[in-house]
Amino acid sequence: MGVFVDHYLILGLQSGEEGCKVSIEEIKKAYKKKAILLHPDKRANDPNAVAEFQELQAKSAQCGVIDKEKMVRVWWAKVGCDYSVENLRDVFDKFGEVENVIMSCKNERSALVVMATKEAVIAACRFVCGDGSNPLLVFPLQGY
């Protein structure tokens, strides 16, 4: 049996009966506040920053904060150019606002891109994008 984790407490919110009264807007606000504190760009010298940020995102998704329909999974080969958070943000900005780019810790050639709208996800999945020497494979995280 797994260990119980209170996702609301991790976000700094009330738990138990009081947690039932917390609105989605309050959850989103608490997530954004915590995400700013834990973001790897703000903690460049912390080797645990990426893992802790990804853990926060996973827990927040369980609280209903992150809409998986606004996310795309991206892969690329180990040839040609490599991609960074900044490169991927530039590539996907052409399809709409990019809320976040999360590089995979397990696979150094993959990432999740969180778009602001579902329409941006659809647009990103319809076109070949990235550098011509190493195009990106882009798939929606959840079907549209």
CA pair distance 7, 122, nearest whole angstrom:
30
Give the residue numbers spanning the domain of 100. Answer: 68-140
Supply the pLDDT for residue 123: 92
What pTM, to 2 d.p., does this model score?
0.56
Q: Is residue 54 domain-shared with residue 78, that is, in the same domain?
A: no
Q: Is residue 97 domain-shared with residue 127, that is, in the same domain?
A: yes
113 within domain boundaries: yes
Q: SS3 of 142, please?
A: coil
Residue 93 has which token pair?
């900005």
Q: Which residues lie closer than 8 Å to 97 by C-beta, 6 or more apart? A: 115, 116, 117, 120
Residue 144: HSE in the Cβ half-sphere, 13 Å Cα cutoff:
19
Q: What's the whole-number mean pLDDT along residues 82-91?
A: 88
Residue 135 pLDDT > 60: yes
Q: Is residue 41 domain-shared with residue 57, that is, in the same domain?
A: yes
Supply the pLDDT for residue 93: 94
